Amino acid sequence: MTRQVKAEIGVGLLVLLTLVSMVFIALKVSNFNAMQDRPSYQLEALFSNVGGLTVRAPVKVSGVTIGRVAEISIDPISYRAKVLMDIYNDYDDLPMDSSASILTSGLLGSQYVGIEIGGDEQVLADGGRFDYTQSALVLENLIGRLMVSLTEGGDK
Amino acid sequence: MWAWTLSSMTQTTAWLGRIALNFLQSLGKRAFFVWAVIPALPYSAWRIRLLMKQVYFAGVLSLPIILTAGLFVGMVLGLQGHHILTTYNSEEAVGTMTALSLIRELGPVVAALLFAGRAGSALTAEVGLMKSTEQLSALEMMAVDPMKFVIAPRILASIIALPMLAMIFIATGVLGGYVVAVGWLGVDDGAFWAQMSEQVDWQADVINGLIKAIVFGILIAIISLYEGYESVPTSEGVSRATTRSVVHASLVVLGVDFILTSLMFT
């Protein structure tokens, strides 16, 4: 085996290992799969507080991801947070009266939008809006409310 | 008394000035070196065989050290991460921690440090010895430009090899962390991968890590070949140049890493 051939085999091996590593990192380690946009339609919801919700956070029904948060902005009329969600086309039968809430996965986990399925016969179409929403829990508000109820309880 | 104070002050000032001038001069020399190399790079890209040989020396021969180091760094991360995260009852996050620290920092940086020690020093010594045995002058005598024939292929090979090695380092490291966390410490297999792929972003993390590796490849290549090319052509000069090449390259990698991190991950 000449030196040139040996070098070529070595470099081939290096390239092969790099490709395997890249594929491994793309598919197993990072969210490369989720990057490709699955065909989806858009729904929106108004929240008075989105907490730590970020773009690309999952939208879940019963813990199953059915879409991603596409955009978070302020609704110019009501000054509430407007969250646009891309919902995959496979799940195009969400009832009209479903409600959206911002939940936290685990005690310290990241936040996601959880959809509670309603009972309406009509379904939300592209551009539709969740009328019933529940904002993220803010610890300070919670403690504040707890303090109020505690002091009120003490007065009685 | 006055005269003595005055002369010592002048001497101190002169000493400071000398340091500043030397520093500027060495910067200027490096800039000229880079300036001379850039037009030679396209030629070397076409000489596939020459380039292949250098990629073999810089990249393939660094594989064993990269694989071993990656495996152990990943295993240590798994172990330490598990120890810390169990106190917060969230040991499933060990996969995320291992992958993020490898992709963002340790992969590119440790691979670059190892590369500077393994391949950078070899490049400096090789080119330095070529200079001291007057092979470079001989090439010039034969109207072969050593920039195109010797320096450029080596620089290009380093720039190609380091990102590849960094990717391999990251993949081995994650596997090492997996072996320790899941195989040994009993973290849940599914949670390990699921949390990891949820938290690691392809663009923000992997691509930025890759950019870091490319920048480090360019820096190490330029530093090690400059030291070799400009080394004092004696055995002592070559040995000093080799040491300087490794020290400078390592320090520059660490410093530039801080700058890149502050730009990329805000």
User: How many residues would you count in chain B?
Assistant: 266
Q: Is B104 left (phi over 0), alpha (psi -120 to 50) or beta?
A: alpha
Query: B63-86 and B107-115 are packed helices; what angle lies between their axes, rounded to 10 degrees?
Result: 150
Indicate the residue of B61, B90, B196 with minimum beta-carbon distance to A29.
B196
Strands A40-47 and A81-88: antiparallel
Q: What are phi and psi of B261, to 5 degrees?
A: -60, -45
Residue of A nearest to B54 (CA): A7
Residue A44 identity = E
- Of chain B, the percentage scoring pLDDT greater than 90 comes to 58
Query: What local confidence, expressed as pLDDT, does residue A1 receive?
Result: 64
Indicate the residue of B60, B168, B200 with minimum beta-carbon distance to A29.
B200
Query: Nearest CA to B166 among B246, B45, B67?
Result: B67
Interface check for A4 against chain B (CB to CB < 8 A): the answer is yes
Interface check for A18 against chain B (CB to CB < 8 A): the answer is yes
Interface check for A54 against chain B (CB to CB < 8 A): the answer is no
Dist CA A33 CA A10 (whole Å):
31
Dist CA B132 CA A112 (whole Å):
65
Does residue B76 have a pLDDT over 60? yes
- The tokens 């090449």 sit on which residue? B245
- pLDDT tens figures, A66-84: 888 888 999 899 898 999 9
- B250 versus A93: the higher-pLDDT residue is B250
Strands A132-134 and A58-61: unpaired
- Measured distance between the N- and C-terminal CA atoms of chain A, rounded to whole angstroms: 95
Q: Å from A16 to nearest chain B CA?
A: 10
Are the beta carbons of B221 and B154 closer than 8 angstroms?
yes
- Which residues in chain A are closer than 8 Å to B161, comparing Cβ atoms? 14
B3-26 core/surface letters (b: 16 or more CB in 10 A; e: else): eeeeeeeeeeeeeeeeeeeeeeee
Does residue A38 have a pLDDT over 80? no
SS3 state of residue A139: helix
pLDDT category, A34, cuts 50, 70, 90? low
Q: Which of residues 173-192 of B touch A (CB under 8 A)?
A: 174
Q: Which range in B67-71, B191-195, B199-203 is most confidently predicted, on average pLDDT?
A: B67-71
Interface check for B253 against chain A (CB to CB < 8 A): the answer is no
The answer to whether the CB atoms of B197 and A29 lie below 8 A apart is yes
Dist CA B156 CA B44 (whole Å):
8
Interface check for A22 against chain B (CB to CB < 8 A): the answer is yes
User: Using alpha carbons only, what angle is made at residue B125 by residues B120 and B130, rounded to the nearest 5 degrees?
Assistant: 130
Are the beta carbons of B213 and B88 closer than 8 angstroms?
no
pLDDT category, A120, cuts 50, 70, 90? confident
Does the interface ipTM go beyond 0.85?
no
Indicate the residue of A10, A20, A28 with minimum beta-carbon distance to B56.
A10
Query: What local confidence, expressed as pLDDT, does residue B200 receive?
Result: 84
Does residue A98 have a pLDDT over 80? yes
Q: Which of residues 64-83 of B touch A (CB under 8 A)?
A: none
Q: Is A56 left (phi over 0), alpha (psi -120 to 50) or beta?
A: left
Query: What local confidence, expressed as pLDDT, does residue B190 receive?
Result: 80
- B245 versus B40: the higher-pLDDT residue is B245
Query: What local confidence, expressed as pLDDT, does residue B260 receive?
Result: 94
- pLDDT tens figures, B78-120: 999 999 988 887 878 888 899 999 999 999 999 999 999 999 9
Count Cα neighbours of B17 within 13 Å in the Cβ-side half-sphere.
6
Q: Which range in A34-43, A89-98, B241-250 is most confidently predicted, on average pLDDT?
A: B241-250
Dist CA B146 CA A117 (whole Å):
72
Angstrom distances, CA of residue B221 to CA of A123, B33, B150, B161 = 61, 12, 13, 10
Interface check for A16 against chain B (CB to CB < 8 A): the answer is no
Q: How would you class B239 by CB atoms within 10 Å of its CB: exposed for 0-12, middle for 13-18, buried for 19 or more?
A: middle
pTM of the entire predicted model: 0.77
Does residue A102 have a pLDDT over 70? yes
Angstrom distances, CA of residue B215 to CA of B104, B192, B208 = 14, 31, 11
Q: What is the mean pLDDT of residues B27-44?
A: 88
Interface check for B164 against chain A (CB to CB < 8 A): the answer is yes
The answer to whether the CB atoms of B90 and A106 lie below 8 A apart is yes
- A35 versus B247: the higher-pLDDT residue is B247
- B18 versus B191: the higher-pLDDT residue is B18
pLDDT category, B167, cuts 50, 70, 90? very high
Q: What are phi and psi of A76, to 5 degrees?
A: -65, -20
- pLDDT tens figures, B38-60: 888 888 888 888 888 899 989 89
Query: What local confidence, expressed as pLDDT, does residue B261 receive?
Result: 93
Query: B189-199 and B94-101 are packed helices; what angle lies between their axes, rounded to 10 degrees?
Result: 40
Query: What local confidence, expressed as pLDDT, does residue A35 receive?
Result: 57
Dist CA B147 CA A141 (whole Å):
68
Q: What is the mean pLDDT of residues B223-248?
A: 92
> Which of B1-10, B25-34, B149-158 is least confident?
B1-10
CA B209 to chain centre: 13
Q: What is the mean pLDDT of residues B190-211?
A: 85
Does residue A154 have a pLDDT over 60? no
Query: A3-24 and B48-58 are packed helices; what angle lies between their axes, rounded to 10 degrees?
Result: 70
Are the beta carbons of B173 and B105 closer than 8 angstroms?
no
Query: Nearest CA to B181 among B71, B69, B75?
Result: B75
pLDDT category, A36, cuts 50, 70, 90? low
Q: What is the DSSP letter of A52?
A: T
> Which of A92-96, B1-5, B217-221 is least confident?
B1-5
Query: What local confidence, expressed as pLDDT, does residue B91 receive?
Result: 79
Does residue A94 have a pLDDT over 80? yes
